[in-house]
Amino acid sequence: MKRTSERKEREKENRKNDILKAAENIMKKNGLHGLNVDQIAEDTSLAKGTIYLYFKSKEEILGNLTVKARKLLLKEFVKIDKMDLNPIDKLREIIIANYKFYRKNTLYYDLVSLYEANHTLEETDEMYGSSNAITELVSKIAFEAKEKGELNENLDPLHFTMILWGTTVGILQMLKVRGALIESKLNITENQILDSFLELFFQGVKKK
């Protein structure tokens, strides 16, 4: 009886993962807003009603994938936190890692940004937890930078974390939307913009 229960649970989890994988593939082809349950049903050969047994809405599917994206981004930040670097240099590397994540995983980055830019979307406790885990890690490093005298003494580390996240999201969104145009019209590459942003930002927040 126990084995049957475990097998059914595995089958349920596998089907759930199949639905999420199909959703990812659809969005990679059609964009974030090109996702619909009819297409998922077609790609998975499942009845539409069956999909709703696992996810009550398209938004719940997006939420699950957003949690996955945030966990992947956090994993990259954890690697940096374990590096033998000064805290202020870790913060710089976190911005660079965020940029690399955007370049390598465009869909995942779009999922992370979706909930940053759209206040009408509600986040579940799991989603908030995945976002808060990133905030806690970055703010921890910011507090370490403050304690070591690397951060401007007038800056609150938690305020700094929010500003760091907000400005980085803004820069990456600009590069995503206008990067190609900026390079073709102004002959400024993405890397040059990123380097200038890092220089300007950290000049402003370092202890003088």
At 181 the pLDDT is 95
Beta bridge partners of 151: 206
Residues 6 and 38 in one domain: yes
Helix (H, G, I), strand (E, B) or coil at 1: coil
Q: What distance in Å separates the CA atoms of residue 24 and residue 40, rounded to the nearest whole number?
A: 10
Task: Look at residue 136 and tell me whether its pLDDT is greater than 90.
Answer: yes
| Span 146-187, pLDDT tens digits | 999 999 989 999 999 999 999 998 999 999 999 999 999 999
Residues 46 and 6 in one domain: yes
Residues 47 and 138 in one domain: no
| Span 4-46, pLDDT tens digits | 677 778 888 999 999 999 999 999 999 888 899 999 999 999 9
Query: What is residue 123's DSSP assignment?
Result: P
Alpha helices in the chain (DSSP H): 2-30, 37-44, 48-54, 58-81, 87-104, 106-117, 125-147, 157-186, 190-205
Residues 187 and 124 in one domain: yes
Domain CATH for 108: 1.10.357.10
At 32 the pLDDT is 85
**pTM metric for this prediction:** 0.88
| Span 58-107, pLDDT tens digits | 989 999 999 999 999 999 999 999 999 999 999 999 999 999 999 999 89
Q: What distance in Å separates the CA atoms of residue 122 and residue 124, rounded to the nearest whole number?
A: 7
Q: What distance in Å separates the CA atoms of residue 184 and residue 50, rounded to the nearest whole number?
A: 48
Contact 102, 179 (CB under 8 A): no
At 2 the pLDDT is 60
At 1 the pLDDT is 57
Q: What distance in Å separates the CA atoms of residue 172 and residue 195, rounded to the nearest whole number?
A: 12
Q: What distance in Å separates the CA atoms of residue 193 and residue 172, rounded to the nearest whole number?
A: 10
Residues 104 and 80 in one domain: yes
At 119 the pLDDT is 57
Residues 150 and 65 in one domain: yes
Q: Please give the backbone phi and psi of residue 151, each rounded to the nearest 5 degrees, phi first.
A: -105, 145
pLDDT band at 3 (very low <50, low <70, confident <90, very high): low
Residues 102 and 167 in one domain: yes
How many domains would you assign to the chain?
Answer: 2
Residue 27: which domain range? Answer: 1-56
